Amino acid sequence: MKRDLITLLDYSSAEVLSLIDSADKLKKENGSTGSPRGGTVRGDLKGKSVALVFQKPSNRTRVSFEVGVHELGGYCLYLGPDEINLGKRESTHDVAKTLSRYVHCIVARVFDNKDIVQLAQYADVPVINALCDLYHPCQALADIQTIREKFGKFQSLTLAYVGDGNNVFHSLMVACAKVGINVRFAGPKGYDPNPAILKQTQGVARTNGCTIECSRDPQWAVKGAHVIYADVWVSMGQEKETAKRIKQFKGYQINTDLVKQAQKDYIFMHCLPAHRGLEVTADVIDGKHSVIFNQAENRLHVQKAVLLYLLS
Ligand code: CP
Ligand code: NVA
C-alpha cells in the first residue's frame, strides 16, 4: 500500500528517527554543510517525476523540493495557484487521479487540511504535505534534525514555543513528542493549539516520557529552555487579521530580555519567513544563538530522506 506524509501523527517514533538518521547521512554524503554547498546527484529517482502543487507562495519548500528531487536524479515540476487552482478549476478528485497518471509523487501546499487529506485519498501515488492550515511536517522534521545536530541528543531537552498555536507549532509538538523532547507553549487567549491535536500529541508524549504543556506566560515557557522557537503572528491567508493579531500578540515577542531566562547555550529557531521587530527582535534572530539557516538547509536533506522513504 502507498504511504503519504500528511501529519507525523501517522508515523511511528522509529520511522521519524530513521528519517532523521537518513537525512544526516544524505547531508554528509552531499558534501554540505553551509554555503557554498555540495551537490552530489544520486540515481534513486531516475525516471521518476514529482509534482509540486502549491496554492500559496513559498521560498524554502519549493526550492528545497525542486533541488532535492534533482539531486536524487528525478524530475520536478512546479504547479502554482494559477495552473491547478485545486477544487475550483477542477475537483480535488480529478486533480489527484490525473496527476497520478503522470507523476510518481505529489507534494502539495494547500489552505485547508481537508484538501490534502482528499488528495492523498484519491491519488494513487504518495502525497506529501508541504503545509496546510493544520500541519507543516517537513518543517518539523528539519527542525528536530537541527536540534539533534546542536545538542547531540533529543532526551532531556525543553523547547519553548512562543506565539500562535498554528500549523508549524502543531507539527513541531508532534515531532518533539515522537522523539522525547519536552515542549512548553505560551500564547495569547484565542490562539491556542487545536485541542484535538494537542490531546493526541500529549498521549504520544506520555508514551515517550516527555511532556507538552501550555500557558499564557512566555517567561514560564522559556525558563531553562534549550530551544526557543518563533513563527510569524500572521500566517499566509490571514492577512486581513494583521492589525488585530499584532495587537493581540504584543507581549509574545522573543527579545533579549526574554531569552535571558533560557539555558546559556540555547538555540533560537524560526521556520521563516520572519518579521524582525514583531515576533522576534533583530538582535536575537541575527545573533549567535540563531540556527535559522541550518533549519532552512535541513529542509533539503530531510525531504530527500522522505522522498527516498516513500518512493523507493
Ligand atoms: N518555512 C517554509 O516553509 O518556508 P516557505 O514558506 O518559504 O516555503
Ligand atoms: N505559519 C506560517 C508558516 C510559513 C512557513 C504560515 O502558515 O504562513
Q: Which of 233, 271, 295 maximizes ligand 2 atoms within 8 Å of its Cβ, making it the mutation to test the pocket?
A: 271
Q: What confidence score (pLDDT) does residue 19 get?
A: 98
Does 222 lie in the same domain as 264?
Answer: yes
Does 283 lie in the same domain as 202?
Answer: yes
Give 229's strand partners. 161, 269
Burial degree of 130 (CB within 10 A; 0-12, 13-18, 19+):
buried
Answer whether residue 180 is part of any domain: yes
Does 90 lie in the same domain as 228?
Answer: no
Among all bound ligands, the one having the nearest atom to the CA of 168 is: 2
Write the CB contacts of 52 (distance below 8 Å, at least 6 apart in sequence): 62, 65, 66, 76, 77, 78, 79, 107, 108, 109, 130
For residue 7, give the nearest of 158, 169, 182 by alpha carbon.
169
Q: What confidence score (pLDDT) does residue 142 get?
A: 98
Q: Which of 141, 232, 272 maximizes ligand 1 atoms within 8 Å of its Cβ, making it the mutation to test the pocket?
A: 272
Atom number, ligand 2, closest to the C-alpha of residue 271: 5
Does 20 lie in the same domain as 116?
Answer: yes
Does 13 lie in the same domain as 88?
Answer: yes
Does 274 lie in the same domain as 148?
Answer: yes
Answer whether residue 2 is part of any domain: no
Helix (H) or strand (E) holding 303: helix 292-311
Q: Which structural domain range is residue 281 located in?
A: 139-292
Answer whether residue 1 is part of any domain: no
Does 184 lie in the same domain as 56?
Answer: no
Helix (H) or strand (E) holding 101: helix 92-102
List pocket residues of ligand 1, CB cut-off 6 Å. Answer: 58-61, 131, 139, 271-273
Q: What confidence score (pLDDT) does residue 37 get?
A: 72
Measure the CA angle with vertex 85, ends 80 and 90; round to 5°.
140
Answer whether residue 3 is part of any domain: no
Tell how far the Cα of 272 is from the centroid of ligand 2, in angstroms.
8
| Phi and psi angles of residue 184, each rounded to the nearest 5 degrees, phi first | -120, 125
Does 148 lie in the same domain as 42?
Answer: no
Q: Whose CA is nearest to atom 3 of ligand 1?
A: 61
Give the start-end residues of each E strand in 122-279.
127-129, 158-162, 182-186, 212-215, 227-230, 267-270
Does 215 lie in the same domain as 166?
Answer: yes
Would you give per-residue pLDDT tens digits along the chain (312 residues)?
A: 899 999 999 999 999 999 999 999 999 988 766 666 777 789 999 999 999 999 999 999 999 999 999 999 999 999 999 999 898 899 999 999 999 999 999 999 999 999 999 999 999 999 999 999 999 999 999 999 999 999 999 999 999 999 999 999 999 999 999 999 999 999 999 999 999 999 999 999 999 999 999 999 999 999 999 999 999 999 999 999 999 999 999 999 999 999 999 999 999 999 999 999 999 999 999 999 999 999 999 999 999 999 999 998
* Residues 171, 290: Cα–Cα separation, whole Å: 20
At which residue does the C-alpha cell 500559496 appear?
56
Atom number, ligand 1, closest to the C-alpha of residue 138: 3
* Residues 284, 161: Cα–Cα separation, whole Å: 15
Among all bound ligands, the one having the nearest atom to the CA of 64 is: 1
Instruction: Order across the sheet with 182-186: list the strands.
Output: 212-215, 182-186, 158-162, 227-230, 267-270
Does 17 lie in the same domain as 81?
Answer: yes
Tell how far the Cα of 237 is from the centroid of ligand 1, in angstroms.
14
Q: Which of 61, 133, 169, 294 maximizes ligand 1 atoms within 8 Å of its Cβ, making it the mutation to test the pocket?
A: 61
Answer whether residue 193 is part of any domain: yes
Write the CB contacts of 199 (distance below 8 Å, at least 6 apart in sequence): none
Q: What confidence score (pLDDT) does residue 32 get?
A: 60
Tell how far the Cα of 201 is from the centroid of ligand 2, in angstroms.
20
Answer whether residue 86 is part of any domain: yes
Residue 53 contacts residue 79 (beta carbons within 8 Å): yes
Answer whether residue 226 is part of any domain: yes
Atom number, ligand 1, closest to the C-alpha of residue 272: 1
* Residues 299, 198: Cα–Cα separation, whole Å: 24
* Residues 218, 222: Cα–Cα separation, whole Å: 6
Does 255 lie in the same domain as 153?
Answer: yes
Atom number, ligand 2, closest to the C-alpha of residue 236: 8
Atom number, ligand 2, closest to the C-alpha of residue 166: 1
* Residues 184, 159: Cα–Cα separation, whole Å: 6
At which residue does the C-alpha cell 501515488 appear?
125
For residue 4, give the nearest of 120, 91, 98, 101 by alpha carbon.
120
Q: Whose CA is nearest to atom 1 of ligand 2?
A: 235
- The alpha carbon of residue 166 and the mean position of all alpha carbons in its chain are separated, in whole angstroms, by 11
From residue 217, give the alpha-carbon distance in Å to each of 162, 222, 249. 9, 9, 12
- The alpha carbon of residue 61 and the mean position of all alpha carbons in its chain are separated, in whole angstroms, by 9
* 3 state SS of 227: strand
The CA-to-CA distance between both ends of the chain, in Å, stands at 13
Q: How many domains does the chain have?
A: 2
Tell how far the Cα of 46 is from the centroid of ligand 2, in angstroms.
32
Answer whether residue 83 is part of any domain: yes
Task: Indicate which residues carry an active-site annotation.
Answer: 109, 136, 139, 231, 271, 299
Q: What confidence score (pLDDT) does residue 41 get?
A: 84
Does 174 lie in the same domain as 91?
Answer: no
Among all bound ligands, the one having the nearest atom to the CA of 167 is: 2
HSE-up of 66 (CA within 13 Å, CB side)?
12
List pocket residues of ligand 2, CB cut-off 6 Å. Answer: 131, 166-168, 231-232, 235-236, 271
Q: What is the CATH number of the domain that holds 156?
A: 3.40.50.1370
